[in-house]
């Protein structure tokens, strides 16, 4: 069974209800990229009338995490995943619909292959960029994922 946008959104509603209630939704996923969208609304705003940074972080992390989950599932191996570190920068006020995209699926393939071959944990940095409806970058998130073959 492959991971699809519908399954990811159902997963959010059950396992990450705060993200689901804030409007975080997966719109596209394949082997290379994942896209997630969230609209600025009352429930996810900060006192400055823009999207709260943590909501942007949830959407950005989902773009990278969904790719990692998908690749682990495809490998058929018991591999654990965890965010070890992250950083972000904000370039513009996040209002309207914000779309996040991660296009680094190939990095995960290499890390999983190394983890399986060596039996050692691997780390990869993955980037997710958030843009507004005009295509202007509003935020940029980087997540360090650790992948380790379970014994």
**Whole-number Å distance between alpha carbons of 132 and 12:** 22
Short-list 81, 66, 74, 60, CA closest to 146: 81
pLDDT per residue as tens digits for the range 126-142: 999 999 999 999 999 99
pLDDT profile of the chain (151 residues), mean per 10: 88 94 97 97 95 98 97 95 98 97 96 95 98 98 97 80
| pTM score, whole prediction | 0.94
Contact between 82 and 69 under an 8 Å Cβ cutoff? The reply is: no
| Spacing of C-alpha 18 from chain mean position | 15
């Amino acid at each position: 069974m492959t991971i699809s946008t519908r399954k990811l959104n159902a997963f959010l509603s059950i396992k990450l209800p705060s993200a689901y209630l804030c409007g975080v939704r997966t719109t596209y996923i394949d082997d290379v990229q994942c896209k997630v969208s969230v609209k600025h609304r009352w429930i996810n705003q900060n006192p400055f009338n823009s999207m709260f940074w943590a909501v942007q972080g949830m959407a950005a992390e989902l773009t990278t995490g969904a790719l990692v989950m998908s690749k682990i599932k495809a490998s058929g191996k018991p591999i654990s995943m965890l965010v070890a570190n992250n950083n972000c920068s904000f370039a513009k006020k996040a209002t309207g619909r914000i779309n996040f995209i991660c296009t680094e699926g190939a990095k995960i393939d290499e890390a999983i292959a190394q983890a399986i071959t060596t039996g050692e944990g691997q780390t990869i940095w993955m980037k997710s960029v958030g843009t507004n409806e005009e295509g202007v970058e509003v935020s940029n998130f980087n997540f360090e994922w650790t992948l380790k073959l379970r014994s």
